[in-house]
Amino acid sequence: MRAVTAFLLGLCFLAISHAWTCGQAPQLNNVVQVDAGQGQVVAVDRNSYPYFLIGSSWYRMTTTRFRHVSVGRAGLWATTTANRVYKYVGGTFLPSTGLSMHQVDAGGDQLVGVASGSYRSSCVRSTIASLYYRGSLSWTYLPNTLKYYSCGPLYGCWGVDSSNRIFVTKSMTPTTCSTSGWTQIGGSLAMIEVATDGTVIGANRHGNVYQRTGISSARPEGSGWVQIPMCMKIRHVSYDLGQLWVVTTSGLLLKCTH
């Protein structure tokens, strides 16, 4: 396994543009999803176990099986393989009752999620998300359907629907979950992530990675897409503090800097 990994990384160094430098992240086998926020990094492997990165080592957080984990200003949240929503509090994952979610995002002050089955997007107000300990979560339905949904604290939220169309809302009020309305953006992505600094990066169904350019307070929707060259097909990406975390379709985890 190490020989194969070294060979693939060698190809990466030859193939990736000089603008990005990628290498193997702290080793975690068979990764399917990664999320970075507030200087923290979490991941899920093919056995559906969640891991937390401390220094250069990964630590399994629980034996509960999760499909998606997210860490950010709203805390550390996750959805199980049965679509139950959990929050990590005091070293333990605590279950909530209420709506079932297949994906959640904690990048903003509020918690957002996509309901299992219907793909209806929802939000938990910041005052509830930050203080949640256990019991029922009060979700606010939003007027759109998305399969993947991500927010940041600066320039609103982004999402993709079941047809891989891309949508943005330029602002979301964390205390009320009200938005400025959703606008479709040109392009096609299978997943998308919004970083704390407003960076927007996603991967399409072909395994290619793209970054949104021109994002600012005056233009939260940005102005275009630029491809980030990768030597392998990519399943999932996340960005935080100048580092791009990349999961390949083969389960290899890379860390790239710009």
Question: Rounded CA gap, 114 and 141, in Å?
Answer: 10
> What φ, ψ does residue 12 adopt, rounded to 5°?
-60, -45
pTM (two decimals): 0.92
Measuring CA to CA, which residue among 224, 114, 109 is closest to residue 156? Answer: 109
pLDDT tops 50 at residue 7: no
pLDDT the model gives residue 143: 83
Residue 18 has pLDDT above 50, yes or no: no
Provide the edge-to-edge strand list for the sheet that holds 75-80. 66-72, 75-80, 85-89, 92-97, 135-136
**Alpha-carbon span 78 to 33, nearest angstrom:** 12
Residue 134: the pLDDT is 85
The DSSP line for 4-51 is HHHHHHHHHHHHS-TT-EEEE-S--SSEEEEEEETTEEEEEETT--EE
Q: What is the pLDDT of residues 29-49, one digit of tens each?
A: 999 999 999 999 999 999 999
Q: How confident is the model at residue 135 (pLDDT cuts 50, 70, 90)?
A: confident
Distance CA 170, CA 211 (A): 17
Q: Residue 80 pLDDT > 60, yes or no?
A: yes
Eight-class DSSP state of 138: -
Are β-strands 40-45 and 31-37 bridged in parallel, bridged antiparallel, or unpaired? antiparallel
Question: What token pair was written down for 219?
Answer: 């233009």
Q: Is 229 exposed, middle or buried (CB count within 10 Å of its CB: 0-12, 13-18, 19+)?
A: middle
167-216 pLDDT, tens digit each:
999 999 999 999 988 999 999 999 999 999 999 999 999 999 999 999 99
Percent of the chain with pLDDT over 90: 84
Confidence of residue 9 (pLDDT cuts 50, 70, 90): low
Domain positions in the chain are 2-257
Pick the CATH number of 2-257 from 3.40.1080.10, 3.40.50.11540, 2.130.10.30, 1.10.3720.10: 2.130.10.30
Across the range 133-155, mean pLDDT stands at 92
